[in-house]
Amino acid sequence: MNHKELIASMATKMNAPKSVIEKLLETTISTCTELLVEDKTIGFQSFGNFEVRKKEERLSVHPSTQIRTMIPPKLVVNFKQSNILKDKLKDLPHHD
């Protein structure tokens, strides 16, 4: 599902204009981005938590050339799903 499809789905479920839903979604994303930049954790009840974690410097080896390269440390966003979401996903068929 892309951005426009998400807005259309939310507008239908909420019986609201797409323009209002688009503004709500953009504000939510903007606020979440600001909070993550401030190193805050964001929790959505029954969905999960987003937090910034530091990945340490590591050694990488190119599989075909065997050239070794140091990958510098970086910050990444980590998502941990809630138990409610985990239980809902557990019953879905696996995609292979």
Question: What tens digit of pLDDT does each residue of 20-79 get?
Answer: 999 999 999 999 999 999 999 999 999 999 999 999 999 999 999 999 999 999 999 999
Terminal-to-terminal C-alpha distance of the chain: 20
- pTM of the predicted protein model: 0.79
Contact status, residue 42 vs residue 35, Cβ threshold 8 Å: yes
Distance, CA of 6 to CA of 25 (rounded, Å): 9
Distance, CA of 81 to CA of 69 (rounded, Å): 33
Question: What tens digit of pLDDT does each residue of 64-95 get?
Answer: 999 999 999 999 999 999 999 999 998 888 76
For residue 77, what are the β-bridge partners?
Answer: 52
